[in-house]
Amino acid sequence: MIRGTPRTVREALTTSRFLISVWPWRAYGHVLGTTVIAGMTLVPLAVPAAPWLFAVAGLWRPAPLSWTWVLVLVLVGGLLLGVVLPWVAAPVAWLERRRLRLVDGRALGAAPRGRIHYADPATWRAVAYLVLLVTVGALMSAAICGLLLFLVLLAGSPFLVDGTSVVTLGFTTVGTVDAAIPFAVAGVVALVLSPYPVALLASAHGAVARALLRDDNAPLRAELVEVAQSRARLVDLFEAERRRIERDLHDGAQQRLVGLTLRLGLAKVDLLPGSPAHAEVTAAHDEAKQLMTVLRELVHGIHPRVLTDRGLPAALGELADRAPVPVNVHADVPGRLPASVEAIAYFVVAEALTNVAKHSGAAEATVSAYRRAETLVLEVCDDGVGGADPVRGTGLTGLADRAAVVGGRMLLSSPPGGPTVVRVELPCD
């Protein structure tokens, strides 16, 4: 017994509530739709199939065509069908993927998009499905539809006879209501039980459609989506951890170091100048002040407070003030961006300016930041010697890796003699 809600007509067939569920009507709709779609599909296939029809007709005429003409017609027809069938199969496959939901609610994957590729196996699987649809599928669906109409005729036969004329019921005739009643009872019973064979046919059709119209890349796309989502979660987690470390250092270790520096300063005042103890405490006090400077730089490098408080334009301005070379900043970024994007943008510019100071020999640099639609664009330009190559070092590779974390990209222009332009685009939607 199936537990839970059936997802397919095949699963519904095994339940005791099948006849009073919606699945029989969905199976009827699928079978009837097969007949309609197959009939409509034959129209665009008539032209490329015409040479084959002429060849068959020529063989059965009193004056048949020569075998040379028959072979020519068969080859021309095959060529036309080979060219046209993929173009007809593509929209039919698109429709059949959606119609499959009537009898199979499981995900099938997105339909292929773009141009028809004759070397793609999925294209020829769609062609095979089309051929089966207009031949086997059309015949069986038409037979089922004809049988259902016949059963309706049997069930309504008592209302068709008038006692003066006979009514043909396919294999026999009836002329009175009493003679028609047994056929009506049989027709009603057959109609009540008809959902089972109709559902079996729809289930078989659905299985063929799932096998031939499946999306080969669906598992890969699902894995890529999961990787992208997990990467985004890791970025947020890393940013939260960075903030926690910065807060702990600023509010914990840095405050305690400030207290230690003050106590050493007070102890130095109480000691006799020139004494050995005074010299030791003075050295410890100077060391503590240097350590304060180092710790302050470390905290700033983990996550600058100005970025959190005032946003990216102010943080870029602070970077320019601290850079070893003169830097002009042009930032037009209205509003606040996601915290992860702001952090990555800040560190990308910081690393780019570090590369400028170390390797370019530039006299000045320019940093531009602006938002274009849902993309943050960063450009770092310098008037150095150029010739930057990601292969020769890890700095530029690190920039590209930082941008890729949030789905961005890095572009580089650095001809020999300069100038060098590093452009980073970060999605910020």
Nearest CA among 377, 427, 378, 424 for reference residue 407: 427
**Which stretch, 5-14, 193-202, 246-255, 312-321, has highest mean pLDDT?**
193-202
Domain that holds residue 249: 219-302
- Is the model's pLDDT at 63 over the cut of 70? no
Return the axis-axis angle of helices 339-355 and 395-405, rounded to nearest 10°. Answer: 170
Whether residues 239 and 265 fall in one domain = yes
Cα(255)–Cα(267) distance, integer angstroms: 18
Whether residues 89 and 18 fall in one domain = yes
Residue 1 pLDDT grade (very low, low, confident, very high; cuts 50, 70, 90)? very low
Residue with structure tokens 């407070």?
305
| For range 358-379, the mean pLDDT | 85
Average pLDDT of the residues of the chain: 78
Whether residues 191 and 91 fall in one domain = yes
Whether residues 18 and 31 fall in one domain = yes
**Percentage of the residues of the chain whose pLDDT score is greater than 90:** 6
- Is the model's pLDDT at 220 over the cut of 70? no
**Percentage of the residues of the chain whose pLDDT score is greater than 70:** 76
Whether residues 349 and 367 fall in one domain = yes
More confident call, 155 vs 115? 155
Four-residue CA torsion sign, 309, 369, 410, 361: negative
Give the number of other Cβ atoms within 10 Å of residue 2's Cβ: 13
| For range 364-383, the mean pLDDT | 87
Identify the DSSP state of 325.
S
In a domain, 258, yes or no: yes
Whether residues 205 and 144 fall in one domain = yes
Give the number of other Cβ atoms within 10 Å of residue 14's Cβ: 10
In a domain, 92, yes or no: yes
Please state the φ and ψ torsions of residue 161, each to the nearest 5 degrees. -85, 150
The model's pLDDT over 406-429, given as tens digits with 9 standing for 90+, comes to 778 888 888 888 788 888 888 876
Domain stop point among 189, 216, 243: 216
Asked if 307 contacts 341 with a C-beta cutoff of 8 angstroms, the reply is no
Whether residues 189 and 243 fall in one domain = no
| For range 95-113, the mean pLDDT | 77
Whether residues 79 and 175 fall in one domain = yes
CA distances from 87 to 36, 39, 79, 211 (A): 19, 17, 14, 20
In a domain, 16, yes or no: yes
In a domain, 4, yes or no: no
- Is the model's pLDDT at 5 over the cut of 80? no
| For range 253-281, the mean pLDDT | 75
Nearest CA among 259, 292, 285 for reference residue 271: 285
Cα(371)–Cα(258) distance, integer angstroms: 41
How buried is 388 (Cβ within 10 angstroms: 0-12 exposed, 13-18 middle, 19+ buried)?
Answer: buried
- Is the model's pLDDT at 231 over the cut of 70? no
Domain stop point among 193, 216, 239: 216
- Is the model's pLDDT at 392 over the cut of 70? no
Cα(16)–Cα(26) distance, integer angstroms: 17
At residue 105, the 3 state secondary structure works out as coil
| For range 90-112, the mean pLDDT | 80
In a domain, 14, yes or no: yes
Give the pLDDT confidence score for residue 140 in this predicted structure. 92
Whether residues 211 and 223 fall in one domain = no
The model's pLDDT over 138-196, given as tens digits with 9 standing for 90+, comes to 899 999 988 999 888 888 888 888 766 677 777 777 778 888 888 889 889 999 999 99
Domain stop point among 216, 250, 285: 216
- Is the model's pLDDT at 2 over the cut of 50? no
Whether residues 259 and 271 fall in one domain = yes
Tell me, what CATH number does 414's domain have? 3.30.565.10
The model's pLDDT over 310-348, given as tens digits with 9 standing for 90+, comes to 888 888 888 888 888 888 888 888 878 887 788 888 888
In a domain, 110, yes or no: yes
In a domain, 1, yes or no: no
More confident call, 361 vs 244? 361
In a domain, 2, yes or no: no
CA distances from 393 to 24, 154, 359, 390, 410 (A): 67, 85, 11, 6, 15
Give the pLDDT confidence score for residue 131 in this predicted structure. 87
Whether residues 97 and 202 fall in one domain = yes
Residue 11 pLDDT grade (very low, low, confident, very high; cuts 50, 70, 90)? confident
Exposure b/e, 62-97, CB count within 10 A at least 16 = b: eeebeeeebeebeebbeebbeeebbebbbebbeebb
Residue 61 pLDDT grade (very low, low, confident, very high; cuts 50, 70, 90)? low
Whether residues 283 and 352 fall in one domain = no
Cα(209)–Cα(92) distance, integer angstroms: 11
Give the number of other Cβ atoms within 10 Å of residue 49's Cβ: 16
Residue 215 pLDDT grade (very low, low, confident, very high; cuts 50, 70, 90)? low
Give the pLDDT confidence score for residue 338 in this predicted structure. 80
Report how many domains make up the chain.
Answer: 3
